[in-house]
Structure 1
């Protein structure tokens, strides 16, 4: 198995990787719906989904807004939440979102899936 084929072993994530291997990216603040919308308005951002037991799923730049609209926006756990119930989210899954800064300065929004 190559480095880019690594399976997500646990969340919260401590580092990210892509098809080139380990990334030089650092985890920042947790994000809620408002913060993600603000990042989308500003321009480019990269979504990546981390689900334990699967590969990281990098969302192509051209699909960012559609992915936000159809998949993410109703499933975000707000950072202020002390806890959450999956039953409160459509199809009983939710994402904890965090901002990561990469060497190329494109913001990465990591979505850690809970189901």
Structure 2
């Protein structure tokens, strides 16, 4: 199995992976919608979806704004603690990571 086919099996995420191997460092957890908007204004941000039983889903950089618009209503907020509070009964928790070359990543952990 290649790294691209490797599936996330659950638990704390300590490294990211792609076709070149493992890498990454978590900078902070509990990233908010406002944080993400600010990061998108500052520099190119790459999104990554993490979902149990599936390979990591890397969102192409040129699709970041479209992707963000499509999922931002599913970003977890403390005022909405239940899956039923979100469209299609799932939400994302967001964390900020650094990549191989210092690029900034938003890792979206999907809960359903």
What number of residue pairs does the alignment pair up? Answer: 111
How far apart are 1:2 and its partner, in Å?
Answer: 1.6
Counterparts of 1:28 and 1:88, CA distance in 2: 28
Task: Give the gaps of 5 or more residues in structure 1.
Answer: none
> Does 2:95 correspond to 1:105?
no
CA contact (8 A) 1:101 1:108 kept: yes
Corresponding residue number in structure 1 for 2:25: 26
Corresponding residue number in structure 2 for 1:75: 74
Task: Give the gaps of 5 or more residues in structure 2.
Answer: none
Across the aligned residues of Structure 1 and Structure 2, the Cα RMSD in angstroms comes to 1.5
CA contact (8 A) 2:2 2:19 kept: no
Given candidates 89, 92, 98, the residue that maps to 1:92 is: 89
Counterparts of 1:20 and 1:36, CA distance in 2: 26
Counterparts of 2:11 and 2:45, CA distance in 1: 21
TM-score, normalised with respect to structure 2 = 0.92
Counterparts of 1:16 and 1:42, CA distance in 2: 23
CA contact (8 A) 1:11 1:112 kept: no
Corresponding residue number in structure 2 for 1:51: 51
CA contact (8 A) 1:47 1:109 kept: yes
How far apart are 1:12 and its partner, in Å?
Answer: 3.2
Which runs of structure 1 show a deviation greater than 2 angstroms over 4 or more consecutive aligned residues? none
Corresponding residue number in structure 2 for 1:63: 63
Corresponding residue number in structure 2 for 1:4: 4
Counterparts of 1:111 and 1:60, CA distance in 2: 14
